[in-house]
Amino acid sequence: MAQPSAQTHKSARRATYQDVLDAPAHLVAEIVNGTLHTHPRPAVPHALASSALGGDLLNPFQFGRGGPGGWWIIDEPELHLGEEILVPDLAGWRRERLAELIDTAYFTLAPDWVCEVLSASTRRFDLHEKRPAYAREGVGYLWLVDPMDRTLEAFELRDGQWVLIATAKDDEPVSIRPFDAITINLGDLWLPKQQGG
């Protein structure tokens, strides 16, 4: 069965947070450059990659077990950055910048790191709309995970431009900034390959 695709909702007026609130609950709604974009909840390969990566980072970086601590790692946070409303698959804040979490529906402080898991329905939006928005807002690191190609690309923001700092594929062990204090087995992020057939 084909995966539903992302939709861009062009309008004569700039989209607002009310448009996000009015979007159907089963869709993720984001605003970039004044335009509302909606897309379906992620399919299993996407969800597995995001969950596995978040799981690898939580103990060492959020809880300080087996790693340095000092971070908040959040699944699918809603970011309100100027007029942009973005929902990355994962985001991380250094606690020196975000000392404590408060009970709000969204964050107004840009993360230090974001991860987008690419899928057929969101790839173009993630690469051509969200990636420049993260650079404009000063996010320090961007990881792009592709569960279909079984790859990870990591970028660092330098002078307002994304610079590729690492690539990895399949089941390679990776140790990449800003989480280079640990090694992650990339193979844990992918669905097992089908046997036989």
Q: What is the pLDDT of residue 11?
A: 63
193 falls in which pLDDT band (50, 70, 90)?
confident
Contact residues for 39 (Cβ-Cβ < 8 A; gap 6+):
4, 5, 6, 7, 27, 28, 121, 122, 125
What percentage of the chain reaches a pLDDT higher than 90?
82
2 falls in which pLDDT band (50, 70, 90)?
very low
> pLDDT tens digits for 128-183?
999 999 999 999 999 999 999 999 999 999 999 999 999 999 999 999 999 999 99
197: pLDDT strictly greater than 50? no
Q: What is the pLDDT of residue 41?
A: 84
Partner residues linked to 81 by β-bridges: 84
pTM above 0.85, yes or no: yes
Rounded to an integer, the average pLDDT of 40-67 is: 95
Task: Pick the most confident of 100-109, 145-154, 187-196.
Answer: 145-154
Pull the structure tokens for residue 55: 């799981």
Residue-range domains of the chain with CATH: 41-189 (3.90.1570.10)
Pull the structure tokens for residue 49: 């990659």
Q: What is the DSSP letter of 123?
A: H
